[in-house]
Amino acid sequence: MENRSHDSQLDKCGHGILVAVATYNEIENLPTLANAIHTALPTADVLVVDDNSPDGTGQWCDEFATKSGWFEVHHRKGKLGLGSAIAKAMSIAVDKNYKSLITLDADWSHPPDQLPAIVQASENADVVVGSRYCRGGAIEGWPLHRRIASRLVNAGTRFLLGTHLSDCSGNYRLYKTALLKTLLSKDLQSQGYAYLEEVLWHLQRLDARFAEVPITFTDRRSGQSKISIHEAWGVLCALLRMSWQRLTTFLKRSS
């Protein structure tokens, strides 16, 4: 069965904020993270989209959901990727009439104590990005080669997509669901990490208002990174595809 849900407050409509976390083998991080999110935003609901983790993450979620009215889990059949997990969270947030959706990583890379600042910034924005690279942002625990690679990816993304955001590849974001209704009607082709850049591309074309909040990104506490050569290649291909679309659109308007 793809989804096993529990009766909880998430079954009610009209809630303000849904915080979504995509998981695959995050049993070492998720229990403490879920409670930290609830401490930072006590009135928000938390949704976990789990890709059939073999380490017991899904089972823990089932048990915790029965004890916590603010927590829910959506189970998927296999490891389907970050992009499709975010898309599922977006769909749930829209269907249940939440006003905002926040996404963050399950490995403690994104500090939950910055959640209130991100929510506050959304008062004048449709999309808020928790940024490692805007003024006040930082990265801890990364070797030099990873810092350089990340900088190059973001610089390339800004150039190819024509965006001024300092952090285009991070998953610490708030989206207003009113905009997600339109976004989900688009044909987003990316499934993995490239989905993050493609979402920004489409939201920019929808004239979304963006804001950035500085965060201190910390390398994961436990477990293994999910980023692979295949994922990196997927990001590159997606960026080239979107930049080509941008160029052809420009040429059509100019002709």
Nearest to 68 by CA among 112, 27, 9: 9
Task: Give 72's strand partners.
Answer: 47
Alpha-carbon gap, residue 42 to 35, rounded angstroms: 10
The pLDDT profile of the chain, 255 residues, written as one tens digit per residue, is 344 444 344 544 446 999 999 999 999 999 999 999 999 999 999 999 999 999 999 999 999 999 999 999 999 999 998 999 999 999 999 999 999 999 999 999 999 999 999 999 999 999 999 999 999 999 999 888 888 888 888 887 787 778 889 999 899 999 999 999 999 988 776 666 778 888 998 899 899 999 999 999 998 665 555 555 665 656 666 666 666 666 676 567 766
Cα–chain center distance at 119: 15
pLDDT at 28: 96
Q: Is residue 3 part of a domain?
A: no
Measured CA to CA, the distance from residue 249 to residue 255 in angstroms comes to 10
pTM (predicted TM-score):
0.83
Which pLDDT belongs to residue 240?
A: 65
Longest Cα–Cα distance in the chain: 61
Query: CA-to-CA distance for 155 and 251, rounded, in angstroms?
Result: 24
Three-class secondary structure of residue 103 per DSSP = strand
Beta-strand relationship, 71-75 and 138-140 = unpaired
Answer yes or no: is 2 within a domain: no
The residue count for the chain: 255
Phi, psi of 106 (to 5 degrees): -85, -5
Tell me the two tokens of residue 125: 């924005």
The answer to whether position 4 is within a domain reads no
* Residue 57 burial (CB count, 10 A): 24
Range of the domain at 247: 9-254
Tokens encoding 188: 């987003």
Tokens representing 73 are: 């889990």
Which CATH number characterizes residue 36's domain? Answer: 3.90.550.10
Task: Evaluate whether 130 touches 40 at the Cβ level (below 8 Å).
Answer: no
Give how far Cα 67 sits from Cα of 70, 71, 98, 196, Å. 9, 9, 22, 32
Q: Does residue 1 lie within any of the structural domains? A: no
What pLDDT sits at residue 255?
65
CB 133 within 8 A of CB 119: no
Which residues lie across from 101 on neighbouring strands? Answer: 18, 175
> How high is the pLDDT of residue 4?
44
**Residues 17/47, Cβ–Cβ less than 8 Å:** no
Q: CA-to-CA distance for 228 and 239, rounded, in angstroms?
A: 17
Report how many domains make up the chain.
Answer: 1
